Structure 1
């Protein structure tokens, strides 16, 4: 924890305490799990008083809500960026978006775990709802517009197949049953092969 504290303190600047506290959540949750996160621990890691932290977040649940909101935004952005990059370079966009989803989970396991843990957040928070809707629009909108979408307001069987497959593998990687002992590149290769195996079922739907 001391090394984490030194790093976090060096990154904190006056005026961005709310964001620095979210960085502290990531540091603590990645190493010790979300259960270890408290406002006091985050304040200590950043190097401020608990009272300063409480000015931004009323309680742990509010802190984790903001953390989950950030996670949803980051995953949405990762999917959109992967799609745009694939189209710009003439690559398979469906494959790129699926890999981006799984890579996000591998790079940011604490964010991935936090996104839909409604028992630990305020799921009626307006910012969280907006971020959740943004991600849902990607998933319902033809898996970030990489497969044909006949109704952007609901999940088609093809969209559910795509999402459940990549989310399921990402979760298996993060929680450990699959890929134990494998490094990130090996896991991404496994993901690539799974998505390629999935593609024939969606071949007529890909755009």
Structure 2
């Protein structure tokens, strides 16, 4: 399974070597969001980490909000890829493939709680942003495909869509309960994999 781990420190040498300042700035802001929150970072600090002047980010982004939007878009792409990679590690149509999609989702939330929160905070009202809406549909589409293959039905089937939504609701809620430390009230540790297998089995069998 693809592990969406946080990147290491961004250096000027790395930025110029790769020739992609926009990607380097997004990586720098990801680090800052995790350490300081989406409201606690400065564009100038992100520029410093990328090894460029404080004016350089505005050649790629018109303002701070657009930088955060870039972080969200990139994060959603990585989340989708991790979910697809998780399913691919198990037999097509198996419960394990479905659970692995959920495991990738939970792993992303655990690894990058700042970006995870930002994704679902910044995309509020995302119906007005076609690009983010499309990326959100692509992420949910991975869940739909896994459910459809398990049920041996087309992904457009209404029952598939309903069950996929149930799966997403369980895993999304579980992820937020974990990163918000609400599971501390539970008397026993919750092991992700048995939990995800049980949910997959209950929803799809």
- Report the TM-score range of the alignment, normalised by the length of the smaller protein: 0.7 to 0.9
Q: Could you list the per-position Cα deviations for residues 164-187 of structure 1 after superposition, in whole angstroms to 9, with x for gaps in the alignment?
A: 11111111112222259xxxxx97
2:25 to 11, 21, 26: 21
Q: Which has the higher contact order (CA 8 A, sep 6+)?
A: 2
> When the two structures are superposed, what TM-score results if normalisation uses the length of structure 1?
0.77
Distance in 2, matches of 1:17 and 1:127, equals: 21
**Aligned counterpart, 2:57:** 53
Query: Does the 8 Å CA contact 1:71/1:115 hold for their aligned counterparts?
Result: yes
**Aligned counterpart, 2:109:** 105
Distance in 2, matches of 1:105 and 1:166, equals: 10
Distance in 2, matches of 1:147 and 1:41, equals: 49
2:39 to 18, 35, 38: 35
**Aligned counterpart, 1:183:** none
User: Which segments of 5 or more consecutive residues in structure 1 lack a partner in the other structure?
Assistant: 1-5, 181-185
1:20 is displaced (CA, Å) by 0.7
**Aligned counterpart, 2:15:** 12
1:164 aligns with 2:169: yes
Distance in 2, matches of 1:153 and 1:128, equals: 24
2:182 to 164, 167, 177: 177
Query: Does the 8 Å CA contact 1:61/1:120 hold for their aligned counterparts?
Result: no
Map 1:3-152 → 2, pairs under 5 A: 7-9=9-11, 11-13=14-16, 15-87=19-91, 92-118=96-122, 124-143=128-147, 145-147=149-151, 149=153, 151-152=155-156
**Aligned counterpart, 2:199:** 198
Equivalences, count: 192
Name the CA shift for 1:50/1:146 in 2 (closer, same or farther; >3 Å): farther
Q: Could you list the per-position Cα deviations for residues 128-152 of structure 1 after superposition, in whole angstroms to 9, with x for gaps in the alignment?
A: 2332232132233345844555553
**Aligned counterpart, 2:3:** none
Distance in 1, matches of 2:157 and 2:42, equals: 37
> When the two structures are superposed, what TM-score results if normalisation uses the length of structure 2?
0.78
Name the CA shift for 1:145/1:17 in 2 (closer, same or farther; >3 Å): farther
Q: Could you list the per-position Cα deviations for residues 2-25 of structure 1 after superposition, in whole angstroms to 9, with x for gaps in the alignment?
A: xxxx93225322521101111111
